[in-house]
A and B are shown apart, each in its own frame.
Chain A
Amino acid sequence: MDFELEPTLESIVQQDTLKWIFVGGKGGVGKTTTSSSIAVQLALNHPNDQFLLISTDPAHNLSDAFCQKFGKDARKVDGLSNLSCMEIDPEAAMSDLQQQAQQYNNDPNDPLKSMMNDMTGSIPGIDEALSFMEVLKHIKSQKVDENDDKDKISYRTIIFDTAPTGHTLRFLQLPSTLQKLLSKFQALSGKFGPMMSMLGGGNQQEMFDKLNEVQKNVTEVNEQFTNPDLTTFVCVCISEFLSLYETERMIQELMSYNMDVNSIVVNQLLFADDDEKPCKRCVSRWKMQKKYLDQMAELYEDYHLVKMPLLGTEIRGVENLKKFSKFLLTPYDPKVNGDLVTSLEEK
């Protein structure tokens, strides 16, 4: 049975159940532009719902993309009342957490503290998990209305503009590891509880509570993130060897976490075939791009492969993003839509 898969992100934009959309890829391929475009299209197509776009990349570009300053707290985009943006550094969130812990317990010789540090260093993915939990906690604290439920996320869909590092979602493999670790700890706690209490002055109970909380949160998040009805990952790449290779590796890694990937956005395409006065460099580069596009078509026939053009200027500001993002839902045709390349307002 063959399916003709439309080369757009319409299925993502129209899918009612999606709660989380991750956008990722190598550095410089246009992740921020793509995530902003997806967020803009979601906001435009569902005017009655609220959306949140978050950058977890320490090199924040959302402010640049929207020509508007964003910070740690969600702020509405000027000109799109149902889209908010925020820029969070997960590493900073993590160090905030560590500082809090340090304030609470500033004894450098506390063996339990050192044990906790050793433990976090020994479990692959726990750093990412703790960072992500802090981000999620922060997201939960962002409210559209003052009357919103405190423990519930106020947004219909949250779009993540992720950092280019490959292990952003490594913590998805964590729950089972953490579960086993905690069961060991709990057994230990039952056996040596009174003695540990004597030695740690009651701090170890808080440590268990904290680990339990992390485990519960990670399991809950894991369930959501591996559910294709709730979460999807959009890969962004350019039509070059390294980008293609990294994209394939990323897809495989995400599949190993049981995460759904069904769309790939190929950015910065030149579409030089139909130029009236073709420039030699563009023609040559387009030839190279076509080679990899053919390879992608073969490799990703079961994916939505969205081809986006390279424009004459940088895509900045809500209006420009609206114009560009249209082609995430309607395939770009250089013959018909060619004027887009030069029609953007320079910011």
Chain B
Amino acid sequence: MATLDAKIPPGPLSDKWTKYRSTCKLVNPSNKRNIEVLIVGSGLAGASAAASLGELGYRVKVFCFQDSARRAHSIAAQGGINAAKNYQNDGDSVYRLFYDTIKGGDYRAREANVYRLAEVSASIIDQCVAQGVPFAREYGGLLSNRSFGGTQVQRTFYAAGQTGQQLLLGAYSALNRQVHLGNVQVFSRHEMLELVLVDGKARGIIARDLESGKIERHSGHAVVLASGGYGNVFFLSTNAMGSNVTASWKAHKKGAFFGNPCFTQIHPTCIPVSGDYQSKLTLMSESLRNDGRVWVPKAKGDKRHPAEIPDQERDYYLERRYPAFGNLVPRDVASRAAKQVCDEGRGVGQSGLAVYLDFRDSIKRLGEPVIRERYGNLFEMYEKITGENPYHIPMRIYPAVHYTMGGLWVDYNLMTTVPGLYALGECNFSDHGANRLGASALMQGLADGYFVLPYTIGEYLSGEIRNKPTSTDHPAFADAEKEVHERISRLMSVNGKQTVDDFHKRLGNIMWNYCGMARNEQGLTKAKNMVRELRAEFWKDVRVPGAAAGLNPELEKAGRVADFLELGELMIEDALTRKESCGGHFREESQTEEGEAKRNDDDFAYVGAWEYKGSETAPVLHKEELKFEEVHLTQRSYK
């Protein structure tokens, strides 16, 4: 059985990475040419890792389910990317970025990893500018910065509201250069459906060519997962439709521990659900809370037009409850507060699951042109989707699932508990603890791919130079391929009455209601049974049309939802076990007298890493104790 050794290098926090880089094992160029690395996912983490490993001389294969590597969901990130450049001379430093990230994560992340992230952050910006990423600039020609939540400095670099797009296209261009040079091969419209282990080491994957339906074997000396987060377990989220947990989940079932699965980020300002046909949720930038005031009617079930509700009958609940921070409380706090007022029956809109974000007072104070200059594009996007003009009618917003801090457990080298299997970016658990700060996801994805993995993978691959590539005729490949075929035939042969989406929506409802913004023992216990029953029903009554051969989007969805149905139960198990509130995880039993989240550092300052034991056996929890040598743990307050 694998044990949890985080392999944190010895020495002072600020020297660990420098020392590691100078002393880690290397693979010489002629040996690199004989080593093959498989990378699953082509977002910021996957594309940057593939390009960087290709540059080093490794032979790399990249797999993505979209029709092009450029479409990975990193493309949709809006706000920006943090880096400790201190270009604004406002007191930023590596230490401050490290500290903000640890505190923002409510003290549930590993110090050494986060410090390294802060250390390499500045190089990311240099690298991207050299690639031709058109960041926003000042009139003097130098880079512009803005502020984001949870910090007091301006360290966020951005490209309008399309920072993720520009960074991903930068990484995609570096990837394309390596394809041009023959070092990297890209397999688009390919989905990893199984991990292949030989003598306990990751040696390959089984992938389905989504266009032909053909099942393929790919062998490598190491496998790198960069397959993103699992927010779509909730059905409705800000994730892309195809975002899924399948690659991570297959790895988990083959021995990779899953870290903190219950840590989910729910973003407070999204356009609310408007009907049961709704397929996804759209984010409205956090920045709107600078000038918008959040309110609901004081009376339950007040269905009057907002303009007809006078001020004394409105409840500006964030300003009332958190006078010090008002409408700018952190994401987790704002989300919970919105849920509470809607649960009380005071929500607005057709569904009653929305609150107002009202610009009336700002427009009165500043005039419409100023508001248009600040938020014009967001107002237009809102109007495009809802058909309502937010200059005249308050926006209706509601929290939505946005990001998952949990993921595959990795050590300092970003290796999972399976030797030779790595996890980068959102699909690992590593850097954001129980709550991620804005503009930090892009930073982590690129840090892992450009600047961490290229060093740490050498530690492992240096021991592999004598090993020839595993033949895809090896029985382990045949066995894994058989598993994939059997699962596909099983999905195709149920031939029930309900569609994949029917099940996905029901799973999403259970997860949202019992394992969403607020969780308690009773609800979680109930939900666990509901998910189990739903899973059993899925395998008896799902209908997957079409054939296993050729393009079949319903079959793709069915496989992903089947995995979500298993993951959901693990998330609930983790949420049940963590009887404290921290960051995005709010256990109603653990709150202060004022109803705020209450951490319990004595019992829960650990990473919960779950080991898979079989579909009918309970998973086993392993704990990695978090040792804080640099920062002092305190309770957060925003009153």
A and B together in one complex: no
Interface residues of A (CB under 8 A from B): none
Interface residues of B (CB under 8 A from A): none
